[in-house]
Amino acid sequence: MASEEDLKTEIERLRAENEALKKPTRGQMSLKVSEKGGLSVYGLGRFPVTLYKEQWIRLLAMSDESATSSATTTAL
């Protein structure tokens, strides 16, 4: 059976690991919902991008059109 000291050491290790996992690393994207209902995307650039539900719907509706334009431009 593990000693009390071993258990304390393991708890501290797990707490440190948990804290490290909470912090996104550079280049990693993360999402956060604000109190007002906006969804912020962190990691795209220097500042977060925050859009509300209606804005996300409009943006996602344009995604197919954008992908087609991008593919056409790349082919040229």
**5-56 pLDDT, tens digit each:** 999 999 999 999 998 877 767 778 889 999 999 999 998 888 999 999 999 9
Q: Would you place residue 72 in the very low, low, confident or very high pLDDT band (cuts 50, 70, 90)?
A: low
CA distance 72 to 66: 10
Q: pTM for the complete prediction?
A: 0.52
- For the chain, the domain total comes to 1
Residues spanned by the domain of 64: 4-75
CA distance 41 to 31: 5
